[in-house]
Amino acid sequence: MNPKLLRAHIRPLPEFLLRTKELETSISVGVGFDGAWYRSQKQHWLGWLTEYSGPGAYGKQSDKTLSAELA
């Protein structure tokens, strides 16, 4: 699956899930912690995929030979 197709599958998913908020709170990571720029994990995931072909916010090494499931 390529990043564009993965984004298409993610877009219709709900923006917020209670279990996600509970996990973020229990581990102090995510929305509301460490200056996270995203308002939800869905937005975080879509943002990461948007920057898939470049270094993105994490300075990753780009390898265009990998599919989205392996990156």
Domain extent listing, the chain: 3-54
The pLDDT-based confidence of 58 (bands split at 50, 70, 90) is low
pLDDT for the residue 67: 67
Instruction: Please answer whether residues 44 and 38 qualify as being in contact, where contact means their C-beta atoms are separated by less than 8 angstroms.
Output: yes
Q: How does DSSP classify residue 60?
A: P
Alpha-carbon distance values, 52 to 1, 13, 44 (Å): 13, 20, 12
What's the CA gap between 8 and 49, in Å, rounded?
A: 11
Closest CA to 57 of 33, 70, 38, 42: 38
pLDDT, tens digit, 9 for 90 and up, residues 17-51? 999 999 999 999 888 888 888 999 999 999 888 88
pLDDT for the residue 64: 60
Average pLDDT of the chain, as a whole number: 84
Tokens of 3: 């990043």
